[in-house]
Structure 1
Amino acid sequence: MSIRVMVADDQELLRAGFHMILDAQPDMEVIAEAADGAEAVSLARELRPDVVLMDIRMPRVDGLQATRRLAGPDVADPVKVLVLTTFDLDDYVYEALRAGASGFLLKDLRREELVNAVRVVAAGEALLAPSITKRLIGEFARRPRPPRSAPPSLGSLTAREREVLSLIARGQSNAEIAATLVIGEQTVKTHVSNVLSKLYLRDRVHAVIMAYEVGLVRPETP
């Protein structure tokens, strides 16, 4: 089955470029384009794409608001949103992820990175460019928020699962976690799955947010 994608961007040439790249893949189909956030929300609710490729800066309703309406914590049946933006929008990273985005990438990515990102998000995983992960951590360091209370479910994690959560929060991939802990990558995947399930988290992006918000990991920690 093809991955059904919708592209939302107010720049027609960018929409056409993303459309062409993704539609050329044997396992993808671009089913709609939207020129602003309001249109993106309307079309996504009607067509239920597997992934929405969402720009941040758009007229009428921006990509941040559109993401919240489609994938926010109060949405019963969320749509997977992959946010694309430029380097000068660091302040939006944290809020976009809080709004429910499953991934955040920079627009200067290569063609194969875009295609892979859509596949990863469609498969139910979360995805952040390494540089975005660093910016997200920097957001906590620059503008610290009062720690929120740790959820009771945090106590259900084993010592190893807490280690894995801490490494996820530092932006490590499964392969990097496996190397750090000297365990198999499949074992890491099992631990990650257990962490998300026990903490009722949608994906590893939101695990990063929770780990910093409750003070499990601090930005100044090496």
Structure 2
Amino acid sequence: MSTWTVMLIDHDRLFSAALGTLIGSGPFRVNHHAASLDEALAAIDGGTDPDLIVLALQEGSAEEMAAVRRLRAGTGARIAVLADVTADQSLSLSLKAGADAYLNKGMSSESLLRSLQLVMLGEVVYPTHVASLLIASANERPAPPRPAPAAGNELSKREIQILRCLLAGQSNKTIARNLHITESTVKMHFKNVMRKIHAQNRTQAAVWAIQNGLSPLINA
């Protein structure tokens, strides 16, 4: 089993220590605790190179999200945000900042570890109503459109279905079950879709899908 290094960011050192113990019981190794985003950024500038950054969100403010963007720009680590409540505003800001997960502090330890493992396997983990927030985000401040697939490289019917399932918040396993195909086939389709639409991750793919008029697909 793979082992991933983790940086924890939280001003509450007691909570951070408890969280580190919990995370350390899975396939993770906590190698750095930071009390603030500035401290975390300084550590990264100094050579700390975690596989995963877990940030305990304080207010969900625009200032915090600006710091998350700096984290995203300064490291290739996956970023998971932990919040006290699933507030749409902070969720939307986290999405815009490029976080790979938005998780509730009240979730079970098993769910937390599973979610973090999914993040490290390339998944984007957000609440199920993320599609509506993606739509709101795209409407309130449209991003520069990503290039459409070149002629002769258009999306297939199956690839469009995959994107619509993604908008519905479905995991690879759920998509495979709904479309009656294997998970490896789903991953292959995702790889082809990312290449065609010039997306670097599932969040960018979801934004592209919404900007191009696709809607969530609940049942195939």
Tell me the TM-score normalized by structure 2. Answer: 0.81
Q: Contact (CA 8 Å) 1:6, 1:52: kept in 2 or not?
A: yes
Query: Please, which runs of 5 or more residues in structure 2 have no aligned partner?
Result: none
Partners of 1:76 and 1:198 in 2: how far apart?
27
Q: Give the 3 Å change call, closer, same or farther, for CA 113–67 of structure 1 in structure 2.
A: same
Cα distance, 1:147 vs structure 2: 6.0
Q: What is aligned with 2:19? A: 18
Q: Does 1:105 align with 2:103?
A: yes
| Residue of structure 1 in register with 2:7 after alignment | 6
Residue 133 of structure 1 aligns to which amino acid in structure 2?
A: T
Aligned mates of 1:181, 1:166 — CA distance in 2:
11
* Structure 1 residue 15 displacement after superposition: 0.7
Q: Output the CA distance in 2 between the equivalents of 1:23 and 1:34.
A: 16
Percent of matched pairs sharing the same residue: 27
Residue 94 of structure 1 aligns with an amino acid whose one-letter code is S
Runs of 4+ in structure 1 off by over 6 angstroms are 58-61
SS at match of 1:127: coil
Distance across 2 between alignment mates of 1:183 and 1:2: 30
| Corresponding residue SS for 2:149 | helix
Superposed counterparts of 1:7-86, under 5 Å: 7-25=8-26, 27-45=27-45, 46-57=47-58, 63-71=64-72, 75=73, 77-86=75-84
The alignment status of 1:194 with 2:192, answered yes or no, reads yes
- 5+ long unaligned stretches in structure 1: none
Instruction: Note the aligned Cα RMSD (angstroms).
Output: 3.0
Structure 1 pair 59–147 and aligned structure 2 pair: CA distance change class (3 A): closer
Q: Which amino acid counterpart does residue 133 of structure 2 have in structure 1?
A: E
Partner of 2:164: 166
Give the length in aligned residue pairs.
212
Q: CA deviation at 1:120?
A: 2.5
Q: 1:58 and 1:30, CA in 2 relative to 1: closer, same or farther beyond 3 A?
A: farther
Residue pair 1:117, 1:127 contacting (<8 A) in 2 also = no
Residues 86/159 of structure 1: CA separation in 2 closer, same or farther (3 Å cut):
same
Q: 1:49-82 CA distances to partner (integer Å, 9 max, x unpaired)?
A: 00000122269995422220121xxx37532111
